[in-house]
């Protein structure tokens, strides 16, 4: 393995971002390979900085990545802080800048001014276009978890990170109101039972869809699963007949919306909770144009219609941070074999760089050809 690769993992600027793209166990493998890994101290990261020090990483102060030598790859989860504005390094993070999202132009200008490049972690794919590493499973898991808890009146605010085992236990508990209803001889919650809540997962076969299905199974919620076949000629009436909708579909091309604002006023609508994994509300690829701004940990739910029944949306753009350890360990393990080849002309990283050049055409005029 090359001894010239240098990685710098920065502290995350977002106050609720506890994830890490490289877990300590994988950092140990990288350093054993002779790769120089610098890790910024971070009080909010789920892994203690001391774990990285024991793994052989050099420790730096938070926010010092702008002073890193030019030959470093700077890695994070979300966009770095605004200062300095120009970005001169090769950066790895989720940029959300290639589908016309709000702020995309500003981010790409930062690279144009600094001469750096973005290796967007969302676009590190294999030859078939499948992402090699993603937080999608845990995004779907949490989208469904929050939807179920809200529908049962048990969603506590503000949200706080919890281990997956704790969330599974919470999901398995029935709400007090439902228990009282059963004691009075009312309808029992069960698969397809009369009065039982139902959920629909769109994109059920992908990573996020699998995560949503796992959470709904833990909660005992009867679930309908749609994927490509079911959405080619989408049955809007069937969609609206479910209590919960979890959207786990992201598209790179404009497509017909799954749900519109007019649909929320349809007679007989049963749908009352929409949980959107993708949060593409500023993009023309948005498949759920029923809301125009995200929700967050302090205000996780926004009402769209008063009803009856009312309709609420959950649209949080860092859902996996609610299970930061599990999400980080899974993502890091998947990314590790590709990080070990960073700096080598492998197809996955070259495709990633080509996406950046395509999004920012003048980047192709630079001398940079290697990742």
Q: Does domain 6-133+324-365 have CATH number 3.40.50.720?
A: yes
pLDDT at 64 over 70: yes
Mean pLDDT across the stretch 45-73?
Answer: 97
Q: Which of 87-101, 138-152, 308-322 has the lowest mean pLDDT?
A: 87-101
Residue 37 DSSP SS3? strand
Cis upstream peptide for 84 (omega within 30°): yes
| Average pLDDT value over all residues in the chain | 89
Q: Say how far apart CA 356 and CA 343 lie, in whole Å.
A: 16
Domains 6-133+324-365 and 136-322 share a fold: yes
pTM of the model: 0.88
The predicted pLDDT at position 252 comes to 74
What is the per-residue pLDDT across 193-245, written as a single tens digit (0 to 9) for each?
345 799 999 999 999 999 999 999 999 999 999 999 999 999 999 999 999 99
Listed residue (276, 270, 204) closest to 240, CA to CA: 270
96 is catalytic: yes
Q: In what order do the strands lie in the sheet with 311-314?
A: 222-226, 198-202, 244-247, 273-276, 311-314, 302-305
Is domain 136-322 classified as CATH 3.40.50.300? no
Look at phi and psi of residue 99 and say left if phi exceeds 0, alpha if psi is from -120 to 50, else beta: alpha
Active-site residue, 78 included: yes
Given 14, 78, 338, 357, the catalytic residue: 78
Ordered by start, the domain boundaries in the chain are 6-133+324-365, 136-322
Please identify which of the residues 11, 72, 91, 96 carries the catalytic annotation. 96
In 3D space, the residue among 171, 174, 157, 146 whose CA is nearest the CA of residue 320 turns out to be 146
Residue-level pLDDT at 267: 94
Instruction: Give, to the nearest 10 degrees, the angle between helix 347-359 and helix 104-114.
Output: 100
For 311-323, give one letter per residue: b (16+ CB within 10 A) or e.
bbbbbbbbbbbbb
């Amino acid at each position: 393995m090359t001894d010239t690769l240098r990685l710098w993992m920065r502290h995350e600027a977002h106050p609720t971002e506890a994830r890490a793209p490289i877990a300590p166990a994988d950092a140990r493998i990288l350093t054993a390979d002779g790769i120089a890994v610098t890790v910024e101290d971070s009080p909010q990261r789920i892994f203690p900085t001391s774990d990285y020090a024991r793994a052989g990483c050099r420790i730096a102060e938070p926010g010092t990545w702008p002073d890193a030598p030019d030959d470093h790859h700077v890695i994070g989860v979300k966009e770095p802080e605004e200062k300095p504005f120009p970005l001169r390094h090769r950066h790895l993070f989720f940029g959300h800048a290639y589908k016309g999202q709000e702020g995309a132009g500003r981010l790409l200008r930062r690279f144009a001014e600094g001469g750096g490049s973005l290796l967007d972690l969302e676009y590190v794919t294999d030859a078939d276009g499948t992402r090699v590493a993603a937080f999608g499973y845990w995004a779907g898991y949490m989208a469904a978890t929050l939807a179920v808890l809200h529908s049962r009146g048990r969603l506590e605010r503000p949200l706080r990170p919890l281990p997956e085992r704790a969330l599974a236990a919470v999901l398995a508990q029935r709400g007090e109101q439902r228990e009282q209803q059963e004691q009075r001889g009312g309808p029992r919650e069960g698969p397809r039972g009369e009065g039982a809540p139902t959920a629909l997962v769109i994109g059920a076969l992908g990573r996020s869809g699998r995560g949503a299905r796992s959470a709904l199974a833990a909660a005992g919620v009867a679930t309908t699963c749609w994927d490509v076949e079911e959405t080619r000629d989408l049955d809007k009436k069937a969609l609206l007949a479910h209590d919960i909708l979890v959207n786990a579909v992201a598209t790179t091309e404009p497509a017909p919306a799954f749900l519109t604002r007019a649909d929320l006023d349809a007679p007989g609508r049963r749908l009352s909770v929409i949980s959107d994994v993708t949060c593409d509300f500023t993009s023309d690829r948005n498949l759920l144009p029923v809301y125009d701004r995200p929700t967050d940990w302090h205000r996780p739910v926004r009402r769209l219609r008063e009803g009856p029944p009312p309709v609420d949306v959950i649209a949080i753009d860092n859902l996996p941070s609610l299970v930061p350890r599990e999400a980080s360990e899974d993502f890091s393990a998947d990314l590790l074999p590709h990080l070990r080849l960073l700096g080598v002309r492998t197809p996955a990283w070259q495709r990633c760089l080509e996406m950046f050049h395509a999004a920012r055409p003048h980047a192709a005029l630079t001398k940079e050809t290697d990742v």
